[in-house]
Chain A
Amino acid sequence: MSDDDVAPQGAPVSTGGHEPPERDITDGGPDMVQFLAADGSRVEVTPTTEPYAAYLEEIDHEELRGFLRDLILVRRVDSEGFALQRQGELGLWPSLLGQEAAQVGAGRAMRPQDYAFPGYREHGVAWCKGVPPENLLGMFRGVNHGGWDSNANNFHLYTIVIGNQMLHAVGYAMGVSRDGDVGTGDAERDTAVMAFTGDGGTAQGDFNESLVFAAVTNAPVVFYVQNNHWAISEPNDRQFTIPPYRRADGFGFPGIRVDGNDVLASYAVTRHALDRARAGQGPTLIEAFTYRMGAHTTSDDPTKYRISAEVDAWKAKDPIDRMTAYLRAEGAIDDAWIEQIDAEADELATRIRRACQTMPDPPHEEMFAHVYAEPHRLIEREAAAFADYQSGFED
């Protein structure tokens, strides 16, 4: 060994020749599937995007208006949640502002039998799966840890621990395969599962293990990473040095980056992935390239960790403005239609507010009710002791 082989003290650590790329703030790059430009004009279909564009050909004006209606109403659900927190009705609210198109596109691509495993920001997916928005409020108000029946709408409870749900989705999908509910050709029967997380979630072990399990079991699952660029205060270059969609290649299945602020592209790409999964062709990883316009939750202050120029750049990509401009140009909507939807949003907000304010506190003895499915001596003893103690205060 020559002296040249010995690195001098204090030398920089080698990166193995791979310098981290410049942080990709607002440009999704050439691989990103997009059908609506930021100004609402249609993007030309290319041979690469053609398989996805095929799903848009069958959509009529009525359905397109439905997309925009969902975007507007979901934004209203979110702003109402935010306001309720500020007024002390909710303890916390994780806003989806800016991510409406990513979620509505994915949500509308799902069939009723498809099952969604959300994180805790998927209010738009919940909306598309038919979960009443007021049901989402219970956990943020502190009256329960979920409060909706997952199996009523095939929308699992929110999962707070980042990434845990990705594995649940894969396991559920493994069950779907064992039930024979893939590849039958029966549109009512063939089932896929969607697993939602954010860019922060891609750093978790559970996320990576879910990709391994899905790959080796050929599970009918679609991983949907909403890269909203921030994990609380950490920019996504603290989570990865290559974009999430490229990671799929290393696990042996397709990865696609889609413009998450383009509801048509999000819808088409997800439809394609779900069709693959239902046909028994295995998993897909979709990265919806989007942006969280607000705070992570009502507890943090994004002005402490990000610059306003970045937020302004994304304002120009707003998913609702974009779809509105497109549909106006198409002659599919007019001012009267917008006014009607705004009125509907007002009614929805009133309904949510009333539901939140009149949500009863659960009786305290319910704490002991569902710890176990079968009788458990310790819980029974404690419940009885609690009831006895409480009864001492009755008069």
Chain B
Amino acid sequence: MSTQTSTATRMTIAKALNAGMRAAMERDPKVVLMGEDVGKLGGVFRITEGLQKDFGEDRVIDTPLAEAGIMGAAVGMALRGYRPVVEIQFDGFVYPAFDQIVSQVAKMHNRSLGALKVPMVIRIPYGGGIGAVEHHSESNESYFAHTAGLRVVTCSSTEDAYWMMQQAIASDDPVVFYEPKRRYHERGVLDLGAQGGALENAPHALDEAVVRVEGSDVTVLTYGPMVKVAHAAAQAAELEDGPSIEVIDLRSLSPLDTEVIEESVKKTGRCIALSEAQTFASITSELAAYVQEHCFYHLEAPVLRVGGYNIPYPPSRHEEVFLPDLDRVLHAVETLLAY
């Protein structure tokens, strides 16, 4: 067994997020966690488990049940020189804090002509597929990607969970960090051997898109919980000697890594924008618009969007058909190839 494998650990995305926050807190005493139930309970998903025990109540702050309050207080903490990492308990609970996020968090740096920084991370467990009740399964990333001043990122793997969390905390910009909650307990490999744990050695920059599967016929642009679905579609197509699908994990939704997107689409000539979110006026809309604007002469077919239907997130008994799955992706691939 080589020394390299001995530094690799298999861990869940949940544990990797926890480890990422822990590393950031050890590195910088100004990093504080804030949110409902993040302390003793470790969050309803246990993402902050054990951190209050090790860093104390002054750094892992159990807050009142008031989302605007958490967000506004975090702005003030950031103005005082802290780096708050704020947990919104579920996607659908971010709306009470919406005003603070879009009116204050996003704009503080701009309206101070660069004099003030609010280096905070807003953690939002998002997406469906866990059989939850209303307001617990939303994909509302488009609202925040639409707002200048915010960075919006999401992870899909253990490695990204660990590194991206630290990069988001180290960023001088406010970062909305979407955590794919139905992937929390999926395991992947985290190997600190080559990187030695130092943040500057992270395998990718925070705003870099990554080609997860190489292919030549169709590009699937996706992120977060849908990366696994796209991956499965690519594998299924390959097994059946079908079309060759390239899967791009965007990772950053604001900014988009347009170079990687263009390079892939110009190669394949066909593109699917895949997400759980409702497609109308969404990230997938933006992807479709961008690709037709910048890759027009390379396209063999229109860009297709595959996403949630444009309805409120349905009761969980409908999830199976609401959420895009392998078959819907492959159906879109067939549609593209028929042009």
Contact = CB atoms under 8 A, between A and B. Distances in A.
Instruction: Indicate whether A and B interact.
Output: yes
Interface of A: 117, 144-147, 149-151, 156-157, 159, 161, 164, 166-176, 178-179, 205-206, 209-210, 212-213, 216, 369-374, 376-379, 381
A238 to B, nearest CB: 21
B80 interface: yes
A374 B172 CA distance: 7
A220 B225 CA distance: 43
B108 to A, nearest CB: 8
A213 B64 contact: yes
Contacts of A176: 80
Contacts of B96: 205
5 contacts: A150-B112, A159-B104, A175-B80, A175-B82, A379-B255
Given A146-B113, A147-B113, A372 B72 contact: no
Given A168-B72, A373-B109, A213 B258 contact: no
Given A206-B68, A209-B64, A171 B80 contact: yes
Interface in B47-85: 58, 63-64, 66, 68-69, 71-82, 84
Contacts of B110: 145, 370-371
Nearest to B69: A209
Nearest to A179: B80
A192 to B, nearest CB: 13
Given A149-B115, A176-B80, A171 B255 contact: no
Contacts of B63: 213
Interface of B: 32, 58, 63-64, 66, 68-69, 71-82, 84, 96, 99-100, 103-104, 107, 109-117, 119, 148-149, 151, 171-173, 207, 254-258
Given A150-B115, A169-B76, A171-B77, A210 B69 contact: yes
A209 B76 CA distance: 14
A173 B73 CA distance: 9
Contacts of B119: 373
B62 to A, nearest CB: 10
State the 5 A-B residue pairs at the shortest beta-carbon distance, nearest first.
A171-B76, A167-B72, A175-B80, A145-B111, A209-B69
A205 B71 CA distance: 13
B77 A206 contact: no
Task: From A174, A216, A379, name the one whose CB has the most chain B CB atoms within 10 angstroms.
Answer: A174
B149 A172 contact: no
Contact of A378 (B72, B99, B117, B255): B255
A374 B255 contact: no
Nearest to A138: B113
A190 to B, nearest CB: 15
B148 A371 contact: yes
Contacts of B257: 377
Contact of A164 (B79, B103, B114): B103
A156 B104 contact: no
A371 B111 CA distance: 9
A168 B104 contact: yes
Contact of A377 (B80, B84, B207): B207
Contact of A157 (B112, B149, B172): B112
Nearest to A171: B76
A153 B100 CA distance: 24
A209 B68 contact: yes
A168 B79 contact: yes
A172 B77 contact: yes
A205 B115 contact: no
Contacts of B115: 149-151
B113 A206 contact: no
Nearest to B72: A167
B64 A164 contact: no
Task: From B71, B79, B104, B119, name the one whose CB has the most chain A CB atoms within 10 angstroms.
Answer: B79
Contacts of A166: 72
B117 A373 contact: yes
Nearest to A181: B80
A377 B258 contact: yes
A171 B77 CA distance: 5
Contacts of B254: 376, 378
Given A161-B99, A369-B114, A205 B104 contact: no
Contacts of B149: 371-372
Contacts of B74: 171
A213 B69 contact: yes
Nearest to A173: B76
A126 to B, nearest CB: 15
B45 to A, nearest CB: 24
B113 A164 contact: no
Contacts of B58: 178
B152 to A, nearest CB: 11
A172 B76 contact: yes
A146 B96 CA distance: 26
B82 A206 contact: no
B103 A206 contact: no
Contact of B76 (A149, A175, A205, A376): A175
Nearest to A176: B80
Contacts of B68: 167, 205-206, 209
A377 B256 CA distance: 7
A378 B76 CA distance: 28
A206 B100 contact: yes
Nearest to A205: B68
Contact of A373 (B111, B172, B255): B172
A145 B148 CA distance: 15
Given A161-B99, A378-B255, 20 more contacts: A144-B111, A146-B111, A156-B79, A164-B99, A170-B73, A171-B76, A174-B73, A174-B80, A175-B80, A178-B82, A212-B69, A213-B66, A216-B64, A369-B114, A370-B113, A372-B109, A376-B207, A377-B207, A379-B255, A381-B258
A161 B104 contact: yes
A283 B58 CA distance: 19
B111 A209 contact: no
A38 to B, nearest CB: 38
A371 B107 CA distance: 7
A170 B68 CA distance: 12
A144 B79 contact: no
A51 to B, nearest CB: 29
A206 B72 contact: yes
A34 B140 CA distance: 52
Nearest to A145: B111
A167 B111 contact: no
